[in-house]
Structure 1
């Protein structure tokens, strides 16, 4: 392999990339937009909960629960429906006036707690994920208020839980999503832009000039992919910098671990780009082919939905997905940062996937050139 030829390829590709304003926008605007959206706008935390308590006006425990719910910041609207008949409580939820109603027994909360009677909680579960979070919030607030009441009473057999949240004690969505967005943005940009570039060469007929020139197929592949590998590494560094500086995402591991993970992952993305570009005859087909790979890869990666929640019949596909290993590795590096064994396990998985796909892509590319 001639270094001079490879340098010429890389220089030509970089000039072509930065000459196209649309290409620059796609390379840098998309990762920034995704980072801002998931950092600021798209949150997993459930907020603005419409919650009310069905209890007598004289029930001081109900008032404490109400006050604590308001001060938590998760409840936007709390209305007292004491004047309503119990038969209308469910209608209030049906009409979307409230999302959750805590119903006290006929006497009051204090007597119900002392006698061990159940306290009913009604939740609108049309959005199941939101309903589960609402249940956790209200139970936690109610338990805290009851704990304070129990300390001032003679009631016994009350169990308390001492809970510790590790690695992300504030349950901040940005800390969880920024590592995943780093992987997702890099995958989209590296694969899509590289694939479009190679397909454009085929459309314009310049790929035939490269074939007829005194260069090997490996030099062509490296010359077409290395510039995008460099850009992919820069995108990873850029998003990590934004995440740690603006969103206060911790970086408890080492930066070299992020670079190794990023390089292995970009290698996989560019190998997939070569395969798609070989099959595509136009840039439109290349774009469609990329999205056919991108959509299931992202959905089956654990970025948006836990892998454990996916049906066991198709869960095996997740373990062939490079995005899953890269996202999990970055989350462990940034949030935990102390498990080298797990780090190298993920890297080995990425290496095997990248090596397999790249060998297949090089073989297909050589046969296409021939």
Structure 2
């Protein structure tokens, strides 16, 4: 009997088109997203060089950085004042600074200092890049000591991390959790709203009310907006007061980003809910969006390390923009006028998805 029931269940799954779709398409999609989007390898990380030493030793060391596939030398600085803008504007991840007496100190057997100034806003990427740099310096030390028969280490690396001085990973993770949990809660609330009405049989009752489809859609969106903003506020409070994340920017800039982000997520959630007939389908649709959105947001792995086609795909992901806003305000203290490039894509995503959700709602309503 159990075997017969087992055969029956497998036949039911195979014959149902929706079940076949759920079993095949979403897993394959997730595999490709994880395979191409989730990578901890560093390739062509942009770095800058500020070399104050004209000697051959400094040139040999810099050749090792430029020859490494992990780094891409994009800037050669000529003045100390150029370091801050290069890191602040994210043109480079790190600056390699070699002092004026580097080659002379090595030649005379004294210890030579090399400084790495690294962007600590993404502590995970910064630590990986720092490990690569330390490996390059270690190889340089071995070769120099072998050729000149000097004790190790002839060159010493000094590290200074900006925006996250101690490279604390909780700063990076908790700031990302603000966006991740807000996304999950808001998406679940909105993705189930209309599907719940259909499944419970109360959807038809909306037809006899004096409310227009637009008014009904607004009534479905407002609870998600209130819950999403409240959820984000709670997580921000925990991040700042419990995990001691800095709040270097203004609350006005932060909450403008929160509202636009929740607005965009609501549009996606209502679009999914308008297509779903049951709550189970609504949950599946929400899951199908949430997982790729997290992977392609830069939450765990840098977007710059992803293939160009995947980087283009991230442009329609609202979580990508919100993480930049949150980390920029918390760690850098960026004002509103420097975040417009992140605000307006969220507004566009929200308008497009809500308009499509309204069209779907009217289409399914009538």
TM over 0.5: yes
User: Which consecutive segments of 4 or more residues in structure 1 shift more than 4 A?
Assistant: 113-116, 131-143, 154-162
1:167 aligns with 163
**Which string of whole-angstrom CA distances, capped at 9 and with x for unpartnered residues, describes residues 118-167 of structure 1?**
xxxxxxxxxxx9x9589569769989x99xxxxxxx98995555542111
Q: Distance in 2 between matches of 1:345 and 1:133?
A: 27
Q: Distance in 2 between matches of 1:233 and 1:308?
A: 29
Give SS of 1:168's match.
coil
2:176 aligns with 180
Q: Does 1:213 align with 2:209?
A: yes
Tell me how large the CA RMSD over aligned residues is.
3.4
Q: Offset at 1:321?
A: 0.9
Give SS of 2:245's match.
coil
Q: Offset at 1:366?
A: 1.6
Q: Does 1:342 align with 2:342?
A: no
Alignment of 1:214-363 (within 5 A): 214-363=210-359
Q: Distance in 2 between matches of 1:182 and 1:201?
A: 30
Give SS of 2:297's match.
coil
1:109 aligns with none
Q: Is the 8 A contact 2:171 2:245 kept in 1?
A: yes
Unmatched segments (≥5 aa) in structure 2: 1-39, 41-106, 111-124, 143-149
Q: Is the 8 A contact 1:114 1:155 kept in 2?
A: no
Q: Does 1:364 align with 2:360?
A: yes
Q: Distance in 2 between matches of 1:294 and 1:327?
A: 15
Change (3 A) 1:137 1:208: same
Q: Is the 8 A contact 2:253 2:335 kept in 1?
A: no
Change (3 A) 1:298 1:256: same
1:16 aligns with none
Q: Is the 8 A contact 1:265 1:350 kept in 2?
A: yes
Q: Is the 8 A contact 1:186 1:236 kept in 2?
A: yes
Q: How many aligned positions are there? A: 239
Q: Which has the larger share of strand?
A: 2
Q: Is the 8 A contact 1:297 1:321 kept in 2?
A: yes
Q: Distance in 1 between matches of 2:189 and 2:208?
A: 25
Q: Is the 8 A contact 2:266 2:350 kept in 1?
A: no
Change (3 A) 1:285 1:155: closer
Q: Offset at 1:243?
A: 0.6
**Which string of whole-angstrom CA distances, capped at 9 and with x for unpartnered residues, describes residues 249-281 of structure 1?**
011111111111111111111111111111111
Q: Offset at 1:197?
A: 2.7
**Which string of whole-angstrom CA distances, capped at 9 and with x for unpartnered residues, describes residues 17-58 of structure 1?**
xxxxxxxxxxxxxxxxxxxxxxxxxxx9xxxxxxxxxxxxxx
Alignment of 1:84-163 (within 5 A): 135=131, 158-163=154-159
Q: Distance in 1 between matches of 2:324 and 2:352?
A: 21
Unmatched segments (≥5 aa) in structure 1: 1-43, 45-112, 117-128, 147-153
